[in-house]
Structure 1
Amino acid sequence: MRGCVIHGAGDLRVDELPEPVAGPGQAVVAVRYGGVCGSDLHYWRHGGVGDFLLREPMVLGHEIVGTVHSYGAGADGPAAGTPVAVHPATPCARCPECLDGRAHVCRDTRYLGSAARMPHVQGGFASRVAVPAAQLRALPEGLALRRAALAEPLSVALHAVRRAGPVLDRHVLVTGAGPIGCLVVAALRAAGAAAVTVTDLLPRALRFASAAGATTLVRADDPADPGRPDEVDVAIEASGSAGGLDTCLHSIRRGGVVVQLGMLPPGRSPFAGNLVVSREIELRGALRFDTEFDEAIALLGREASFDALVSAVVPVERAGEAFALAQDRGQSCKVLLDFGT
């Protein structure tokens, strides 16, 4: 069985792995597609994500779809052969956050393809993977696996929009037109935003944002760009840069909401904190998602426009090529690995 395994910074291999066996309460999924995420790229380039450093080889990947293969003892769910998406989080269900209905910030969660704990939680970039059966979601009829592979990152975008509060008929700024930023645009339009302005440094990235439904595109490195708004109602920072956050804080109206979605670099990040006080801006964080996963699958089933955001599908045997392509934001949006099962 093939698996996409990171052994250290710059050391990505397609290894032969043992076939998984479904334990009690588990299901084995035959994976068809896996989306390459920014965290996968960080493990590949730097050997870690923030403070989470690789200490052993780890199968990457948490954006996976496929078909049900088999179940372990005491487990049930969609019938064998059913197309499914896999929710990647296994919260503890015991901590104060879980008991408060905020499982997405569980302090002891297990997340596919994460080095946050030791031993690491192995990911889903493999021909078959064993996961808790409760994390399977059957796809609606007509939703192809290729588009369904966007369910996990779209869930992240939907959660960020939810954190922003009401966006109906409002003007929203999104800084960063990477895959997540573009999906935020799509989520905003689905939620009824009247206008969505997107900033980025790269023309190709902005074209993907336009395909997602952006109404105005702005070059982030051009202060004289005529599309740059004087004021917006809501801002979502999706670039993961201090500059993007600064743009949001300077663009938001008094009393407005800024959502920090992009993960900022480790350490201290300077930002215009005085504006938070003088304009009474609400600065909110957004981490992962919970129930939005089911909403994402339903939305993908209704909207064919998401297909334009899948920029490449690469066989797993050429995983290195897929990661290099995903890293090149001037050429790609969402890159999928194809496990061909």
Structure 2
Amino acid sequence: MASIAVVAHAASDVRVEEVPEPTPAADEAVVAVAYGGICGSDLHYWQHGAAGESILREPMVLGHEVSGVVAVAAADGSGPAVGTPVTVHPATPDSYLGSAARLPHQDGAFATHVALPTRMLRPLPVGLDLRTAALAEPAAVAWHGVGQAGDVQGLRALVIGSGPIGALAVAVLRHHGAAEVVASDLHELPMRIAREVGADRTIDARDAEALAAVEADVVIESSGTLPGLHSAIRAARRGGTVVMLGLQRSGEVAVPIATAITRELRLVGSFRFVDEIDDVVAALADGSLAVAPVITHVLDAAAAVEALDVARDASASSKVLLRFAAADTAADDDPRG
């Protein structure tokens, strides 16, 4: 079977193309990709030809949320052996998989086979299937975001925006011992998913009065919208913390800063993650981090454009996965027994 990759060429121009097999460096292993999760940045490259200030200037393979099986071990002896199921930490010292921040761009991992530095690979514990492991990266983003609030044990938390990252933040808050978790969104599907992963109740995001009445100790703003940020600040109790996990648009934005000042709120940003993916993998493996409802669709990689179209409808989908050839051969059967 020919190797394929999902390549963004420009706005509204993503193609599934045949590509040559990768030639790994000595410290790289070749991974047969099983699943790849579509991220908001992938949608932005598809829809706008840019993700924030990262602008497509040449064709680029999309994708940074992936799991798979080592097909060729690294020649220098580092990293896992052939047949090891892995998930991927997509950061390099100066870039991220599937990023147009620099030129030449950093290709992503939406491909049948991809050569990756072994330092990026995280072997999966026995019992953690490849499908679930594709959520390790976005779950690490949520884990880092919750961590920015400090110890949430016994606190009341509110998550604004219950898309994939917001729903994962709900799951992490529940894992970390929050006493009450409330979630909001504009649509019923993401609110239902938030309840399934641990939210005690949900609130329609348009109900400003109900949100303000939460008076949360911690608010995780994951919608990345200006109304969401306004709601987050107004819903925090005096002395509370607002974590800005959703990425706001570039440039200046108007926020109710006087409210933040008079309530003595702590506003903190959160972007990607550092090494939290290791804790996430362990929590996914032992079942203490419940994420299964977040995956709503799995489509073959050959139907990547259709999958992108599904993923952009937040009212009808949460996390959409692409299924590559390795999912058929390795699938969710743990090769280690």
Partner of 2:259: 275
CA–CA distance in 1 between the matches of 2:77 and 2:298?
32
Choose the corresponding residue for 2:41, options 39, 42, 45.
39
Q: Shift in Å at residue 224 of structure 1?
A: 5.4
CA–CA distance in 2 between the matches of 1:170 and 1:263?
24
| 1:289-341 Cα distance to aligned partner (Å, 9 max, x none) | 11101011111112284222110110011111110111111111110000122
Q: Shift in Å at residue 177 of structure 1?
A: 0.5
CA–CA distance in 2 between the matches of 1:125 and 1:231?
42
| 1:97-125 Cα distance to aligned partner (Å, 9 max, x none) | xxxxxxxxxxxx21100000000000000
Q: Residue type matched to 2:112 in 1?
A: S
Give the conservation status (yes or no) of the 8 Å contact 1:26–1:75.
no
CA–CA distance in 1 between the matches of 2:256 and 2:208?
18
Residue correspondence of structure 1 range 16-165 to structure 2 within 5 A: 16-91=18-93, 109-165=94-150
CA–CA distance in 1 between the matches of 2:174 and 2:161?
16
Residue correspondence of structure 1 range 187-198 to structure 2 within 5 A: 187-198=172-183
| Secondary structure, counterpart of 1:164 in structure 2 | coil
Partner of 2:280: 296
CA–CA distance in 1 between the matches of 2:104 and 2:73?
24
Partner of 1:168: 153
| Secondary structure, counterpart of 2:139 in structure 1 | helix
Give the conservation status (yes or no) of the 8 Å contact 2:171–2:290.
no
| Secondary structure, counterpart of 1:210 in structure 2 | helix
Q: Shift in Å at residue 277 of structure 1?
A: 1.6
Partner of 2:225: 241
CA–CA distance in 1 between the matches of 2:208 and 2:100?
39
Give the conservation status (yes or no) of the 8 Å contact 1:62–1:123.
yes
CA–CA distance in 2 between the matches of 1:44 and 1:85?
24
| Secondary structure, counterpart of 1:64 in structure 2 | strand
Query: Is 1:307 the counterpart of 2:292 in the alignment?
Result: yes
Give the conservation status (yes or no) of the 8 Å contact 1:27–1:75.
no
TM-score under structure 2 normalisation?
Answer: 0.93
**Any gaps of 5 or more consecutive residues in structure 2?**
327-337
Query: Is 1:178 the counterpart of 2:180 in the alignment?
Result: no
Identity %: 48
CA–CA distance in 1 between the matches of 2:153 and 2:213?
18
Q: Shift in Å at residue 216 of structure 1?
A: 1.3
**Any gaps of 5 or more consecutive residues in structure 1?**
92-108
| 1:149-206 Cα distance to aligned partner (Å, 9 max, x none) | 1000000000001101111010001100000000000000000001111111101110
CA–CA distance in 1 between the matches of 2:241 and 2:314?
28
Partner of 2:205: 220
CA–CA distance in 2 between the matches of 1:337 and 1:16?
16
| Secondary structure, counterpart of 1:183 in structure 2 | helix
- Greater displacement, 119-128 / 266-275: 266-275
Between the two proteins, the alignment pairs up a number of residues equal to: 323
CA–CA distance in 1 between the matches of 2:53 and 2:208?
34
| Secondary structure, counterpart of 2:148 in structure 1 | helix
Q: Residue type matched to 1:258 in 2?
A: V
Query: Is 1:252 the counterpart of 2:236 in the alignment?
Result: yes
Partner of 2:268: 284
CA–CA distance in 1 between the matches of 2:171 and 2:177?
10
Q: Shift in Å at residue 144 of structure 1?
A: 0.6
| Secondary structure, counterpart of 2:325 in structure 1 | coil
Partner of 2:318: 333
Q: Shift in Å at residue 72 of structure 1?
A: 3.7
TM-score under structure 1 normalisation?
Answer: 0.92
